[in-house]
């Protein structure tokens, strides 16, 4: 049995946070009609323009709430929430390219709703997944690198029994658990720190689940973790 557990040291910092999960089993993530995903991303980029209401990029609410969140724990200098990185590219006129269907789907949801989304390959997990403060010696090979870059002590990370799988909460993914065209079973998540946007969060989670089921087959199940529901079973 593999579980996803959010530790109390996370809830001490973020008591009102919600983590929405979509567990995907038996999917087909191999590249098929690239035009579908290009169109999905292009449409999402247009919708993302709605989040640029403030001229100063960092003053936009979907950005500032995460800037504030990242002030509450030790981070690598310059580390930003994944939604900020996506929106900055769109604001600068740089299109979000296709990677693989799962990543394209969650990137489109992230842009449409202004919420950070991510995903991991369940079959690459070692033991339970925990969202917690790092002890500082967890091995971590970032996506696109082959050098170990462990988190700081006290940094918020996702980790398993082998090491960190996402640093600075949702800033940088690990090479080891990344989603690929060969992924059959996936752990997807959407993160919320602004409790006033709970309705949008639930809509985004439902749409993420529906798009995966529609395009990739398999079975999907959703669950939301919060301070009253701190763990779930990923694989029974």
pLDDT per residue of the chain (236 residues) written in tens, 0 to 9: 999 999 999 999 999 999 999 999 999 999 778 999 999 999 999 999 999 999 999 999 999 999 999 999 999 899 999 999 999 999 999 999 999 999 999 999 999 999 999 999 999 999 999 999 999 999 999 998 989 999 999 999 999 999 999 999 999 999 999 999 999 999 999 999 999 999 999 999 999 999 999 999 999 999 999 999 999 999 98
Widest Cα–Cα separation across the chain: 48
Q: How many CB atoms lie within 10 A of CB 128?
A: 16
How many angstroms separate the first and last alpha carbons of the chain?
A: 5
DSSP three-state, residue 18: strand
CATH number among 3.30.70.1380, 3.40.1190.20, 3.50.40.10, 3.40.50.2300, domain 2-235: 3.50.40.10
| Rounded Cα distance, 148 and 208, in Å | 32
Computed over every residue of the chain, the mean pLDDT equals 97
- Are 222 and 52 spatial neighbours (Cβ–Cβ below 8 Å)? no
So what's the pLDDT on residue 32? 79
Is 10 in a helix, a strand, or coil?
helix
Calculate the CA dihedral of residues 36, 118, 179, 48 and round it to 10 degrees: 20
Residues 32-41: b if buried by 16+ CB within 10 A, e if exposed? eeeeebeebb
Q: Would you state the pLDDT for residue 54? A: 94
d(CA 182, CA 28): 8
Q: What angle do CA 226, 236, 6 make, to 5 degrees?
A: 25
Return d(Cα 191, Cα 205) in angstroms, integer: 10
pTM of model > 0.85: yes
């Amino acid at each position: 049995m593999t579980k996803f557990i959010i530790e109390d040291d996370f809830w001490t910092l973020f008591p009102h946070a919600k983590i929405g999960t979509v567990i995907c089993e038996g999917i087909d993530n191999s590249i098929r009609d690239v035009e579908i995903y290009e169109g999905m991303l292009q449409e999402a980029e247009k919708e993302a323009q709605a989040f640029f209401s403030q001229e100063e990029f960092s003053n936009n609410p979907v950005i500032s709430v995460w800037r504030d969140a990242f002030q509450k724990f030790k981070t690598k200098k310059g580390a930003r929430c994944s939604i900020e990185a996506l929106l900055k590219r769109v604001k600068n006129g740089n299109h979000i390219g296709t990677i693989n269907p799962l990543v394209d789907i969650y990137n489109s949801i992230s842009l449409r709703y202004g919420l950070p989304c991510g995903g991991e390959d369940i079959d690459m997990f070692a033991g339970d997944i925990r969202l917690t403060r790092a002890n500082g010696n967890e091995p971590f090979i970032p996506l696109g690198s082959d050098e170990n870059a462990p988190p700081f002590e006290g940094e918020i990370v996702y980790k398993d029994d082998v090491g960190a799988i996402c640093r600075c909460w949702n800033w940088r993914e690990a090479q080891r658990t990344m989603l690929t065209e060969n992924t059959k079973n996936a752990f997807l998540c959407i993160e919320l720190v602004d409790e006033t946007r709970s309705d949008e969060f639930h809509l985004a989670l439902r749409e993420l689940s529906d798009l995966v089921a529609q395009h990739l087959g398999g079975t999907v199940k959703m669950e939301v973790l919060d301070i009253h529901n701190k763990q779930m079973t990923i694989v029974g």
